[in-house]
Amino acid sequence: MKYKTLIFDLDGTLLNTLLDLASSVNYAMRECGFCERTTDEVRRFIGNGVEVLIRRAVPEGTSEEEYKKALDVFKTHYKQNSRNKTAPYDGICDILKRLKADGYKLAIVSNKVDFAVKDLRDEFFNGLIDVAIGDSDATRTKPEPDMVYKAIEELGADIESCIYIGDTDVDIETAKNSGMDCISVSWGFRTRKELEEYGATMIADCAEDILKFV
């Protein structure tokens, strides 16, 4: 068995968080007097953490003060509304249970703010995923490898046996920077065509495909 440790992205990979993220983005836009964004625009903005998400969502030329206000409003709203419509993708919980039963070590590494990563892990995957790491002052965000290395350390795993699983170009780059293989999933926030253009070499079109690769 080549892979013994699976490190998952969260948004767009394990959980469909798009509608709740879009709702909080647009709440912040309205509160700050900006035009709302479409769900597809928000989908394309996701991947580099909430600071970049809001930076992309506010209008061009927005002042730093207005941007920071929008970011604060978003964070406050999302903290209270991160589970309204969010749910695991089809088949994900079954796959995680099978992987766990087969002795794989499982972790989440996400650019979502750390408290939200841990809250969502506990809400949807309690007992299945031991380590969950999100954006904090302690580590640089993806595609830097810091959070991946931290997860490996907390799991007591060997990097040679790890594989990263995600849905965006950021995840492909994260895996590359971390020195590990990558499974890209096509049900998330990027299309299969986009993933192919980013250089994805293993693409899962359903949760069961993950088992085929590992």
- pLDDT tens across 172-196, in order? 999 999 999 999 999 999 999 999 9
Residue 204 has pLDDT above 90, yes or no: yes
Q: What is the CATH number of domain 18-81?
A: 1.10.150.240
Dihedral pair phi/psi, residue 72, rounded to 5°: -65, -45
**So what's the pLDDT on residue 88?**
98
**So what's the pLDDT on residue 113?**
84
Counting beta carbons within 10 angstroms of the beta carbon of residue 162, is it exposed (0 to 12), middle (13 to 18) or buried (19 or more)?
A: buried
- Determine the distance from the C-alpha atom of residue 160 to the mean position of all C-alpha atoms in its chain, rounded to a whole number: 22
**So what's the pLDDT on residue 115?**
84
Any residues with CB less than 8 A from the CB of 58 and at least 6 apart, and which?
29, 32, 34, 66, 67, 70
Residue 170 has pLDDT above 70, yes or no: yes
Percentage above 70 pLDDT, the chain: 100
Read off the pLDDT of each residue in 60-66 and give the average, rounded to a whole number: 97
Q: Provide the token pair at 30.
A: 């309205």
Read off the pLDDT of each residue in 47-72 and give the average, rounded to a whole number: 95
Give the domain 5-16+87-213 fold.
Rossmann fold (3.40.50)
- Collapsing DSSP to helix, strand or coil, 100 comes out as helix
Read off the pLDDT of each residue in 208-212 and give the average, rounded to a whole number: 95
**So what's the pLDDT on residue 7?**
98
- pLDDT tens across 83-130, in order? 899 999 999 999 999 999 999 999 999 999 898 899 899 999 999 999
Residue 1 has pLDDT above 80, yes or no: no
**So what's the pLDDT on residue 155?**
96
Read off the pLDDT of each residue in 151-175 and give the average, rounded to a whole number: 96
Structural domain boundaries of the chain?
A: 5-16+87-213, 18-81
Q: pLDDT grade, residue 147 (50/70/90)?
A: very high
Active-site residue list: 9
Sheet arrangement for strand 203-204: 131-135, 105-113, 5-8, 162-166, 181-185, 203-204
Read off the pLDDT of each residue in 20-44 and give the average, rounded to a whole number: 97
Average pLDDT, the chain: 95
